[in-house]
Amino acid sequence: MSHYRAHKGDHQIRSTGKMGTVYLLHFKHKYRHCQHYIGFTERELGVRLGEHWSGNGSALTSAVHQQVGNEMILARTWEGVDSSIEFILKCRAESPKLCPVCNPQAYKYASTYEPTGDPQ
């Protein structure tokens, strides 16, 4: 079983076994303190994005949709990854660094998680 580290020195996170796509949405206008949303789907990405665009996605994207409308951009995806990667990316709180809309150098940060060996 694979394990991942959210931050160097942090506890290990076990693989969930669910494979799919992790995606990063960029909000054109900040909502409170947020400008990004990281999500995961096992389904076709377009279907899940349609839910976000229509205001029927997560609580955050629904609130963004109500406040500023459909002003979200699919900024980046990680395909064929374990759902635990979503949690790891959220824990790192580095969305602006990983977002190519905010950071033109974002793609050089392709290795966004660190696989580790099995725990002792």
Is 120 among the domain residues?
A: no
Distance, in Å, from the CA atom of 117 to the CA atom of 22, rounded to the nearest integer, reads 22
Is 87 among the domain residues?
A: yes
Is 52 among the domain residues?
A: yes
* Residue pair 35/96 in contact by the 8 Å Cβ criterion: yes
52-100 per-position pLDDT tens digit: 999 999 999 999 888 877 689 999 999 999 999 998 898 888 899 999 9
* Residue pair 60/37 in contact by the 8 Å Cβ criterion: yes
- Domain containing residue 7: 3-108
pLDDT of amino acid 14: 72
Distance, in Å, from the CA atom of 60 to the CA atom of 111, rounded to the nearest integer, reads 26
pLDDT of amino acid 110: 53
Is 38 among the domain residues?
A: yes
pLDDT of amino acid 57: 92
How many domains does the chain fold into?
1
Is 81 among the domain residues?
A: yes
Is 114 among the domain residues?
A: no
Is 88 among the domain residues?
A: yes
pLDDT of amino acid 17: 84
Is 68 among the domain residues?
A: yes
18-51 per-position pLDDT tens digit: 999 999 999 998 888 899 999 999 999 999 999 9
56 contacts: CB under 8 Å, gap ≥ 6: 62
